[in-house]
Structure 1
Amino acid sequence: MKGVNRTKLIFLQSTLNHKQGGHGFNASFSILLSHHHYRRWLVAILSFFAFASLLALLLNASNARGVGTHAYYISDSSVSLPAGDGEKQLPAVVFDALLEYAASSNTSEKMEEEDMRAVAGVIRRRAPCNLLVFGIGHETPLWRALNHGGRTVFVGESEYLVGRAEGLNPGLEAFDVAFITTVRETPELLATARRQRRGECRPVQNLLYSDCRLAVNDLPNQLYGVEWDVILVDGPQGNAPETPGRAASIFTAAVMARSVPGGHVDVLVHDYDREVERVSSGEFLCPENLTGGTPHLAHFLLRTGAPTDKFCRNNKTRRGPWHPPTAGTTAGS
């Protein structure tokens, strides 16, 4: 027993003499703080708490806005929507902070805030998932980050755009496509697709071997076998008669979505207020599948069990004059 007591006494005395120098605990703590190394740790800790406080303010501002302040609507609240794996999703605090930062960015090239939040809402529900995005732009790193743990693939309309995006976002999975359509040709393209609805432009097919002019079939082969959960159509450009337009992207998204066995695929179409996007969506994604959106964004939910010989239950030929965008139009992309 005496040996044990002696050991404790020696240990305590050694510690006190070494760290405190006989001046007590407060003197020791002051010496530690005065050391440069510990000051750096103190600054790091204070910086962390400052960041946490700022993040909390951002989240409170986001929550204060509420869903009702954005023009996002759901046409059928009773529809049962699939959800992603909650355990693998990006933490909600990080998700909200990324979205808030992107929405507050001061650039004319970004989506309207309500559109961005509507897309993010779908990704939040499905992530981590297989996300296919037609278009490369300001939101590219945001969509990729929000789908943390999933696979996000981007389709651009030029090698330059894809190369630039890859340079800014290392590891980005993006591919360029040479679209062979133009906005000016849209009425002819849609009329041909109607005539070939049971042939080359049928709704269920292997796009790799399709001769339909609206089929995007020069992507890497393995992408056509992916079971996509969400497809966002935000490209290519469609703001002038000579630009490619999005009829081909919408047709391809519709075929890809219908090729998913036993699935529910969310298809989002941006710039839905423009005629090409609205008419093409009505032709291939169908009004009966429209579940929500904003004035500039349409949200379609394509389910299994749809007819394989036609896109919509009621394929009516579009009537009325065609009004493509005029040269020099700058709204949208």
Structure 2
Amino acid sequence: MPLTAPLHGVVPPVCTPLDAHGEVDTGSLSRLVGHLVDGGVHGLFALGSTSEVAYLTDAQRAVALETVVTAAAGRVPVLAGVIDTTTSRVLEHARTAADLGADALVATAPFYTRTHPKEIAGHFRELRAAVGLPLFAYDIPVAVHSKLPAGLVRELAEDGTLAGLKDSSGDEGGLRRLLVELGGREGRSSGPAADFSVLTGSELTVDAALLAGADGVVPGIGNVDPAGYVRLYQAARAGDWELAAREQERLVALFSMVDVGPEADMGRSSSALGSFKQALWLLGVIENGSTVFPQIQLSGESVALVAERLRAAGLQPVR
């Protein structure tokens, strides 16, 4: 579904299920896409952080993206992460994504080496000009070690380089300042950046972000409960902030599954991504809850805790 209007709503970063050999399980991935679309999501973000994109080979990336595009079958737009260290490498991913039918691209600033805002601007402009698909910036300082300045984002929004931004900075004040920079809650519907979409990557503060003027959310745990985030979004759009807050609080409790893996034994990313995948396995959506090596897998005890979180949130495991 080509992006003919500004992106809005719930756009989960799609998990990448693996088979017993560590390859992309296309059957499970297709079922996951069905689970998300049936849950009412407004788009799909393939090959993001929750997709374990940094761990996948180029061939695995292509298989995952092609599977998501095919399974989506034009029902919702598919955004393709083209995340890599340098412009030349990102361009290769971007051309592949375009060939495979992606509707838009998502890229970070260049990383590994330090970059200046002028270099970051050149990076995004080169991507937009070379491939031609709508381009979303992915602001994730924990991974790329640079925060996208609000003034730069506005500049790239106004000149048409960027179609939107996924904010995973964890800086809620910074997100609010960006929204004000773009015109504020009441003023974003007109002006040079009127078609620019701001999506929060923070699953825990979606109601607050929507109240401030954000257009949607890219929730990792939305893989597990897409319908919950859709209800939250719809309540906010209707101005029912009490209902939105109640749904947000339920999802905050569900999100606690990300910490089921003991901190002394495994990384926080391994625990979080493992919990999402194991939850999908428990719900019968995918056939294997494993994450990509060298991430440490959740123990049976931790998986049992994931099941408890699901039941507490009103979701019923089938395994």
Q: TM-score range by the shorter chain?
A: 0.3 to 0.5
Structure whose alpha-carbon radius of gyration is higher = 1
TM-score norm. by structure 2 comes to: 0.33
More helix by share: 2
TM-score norm. by structure 1 comes to: 0.32
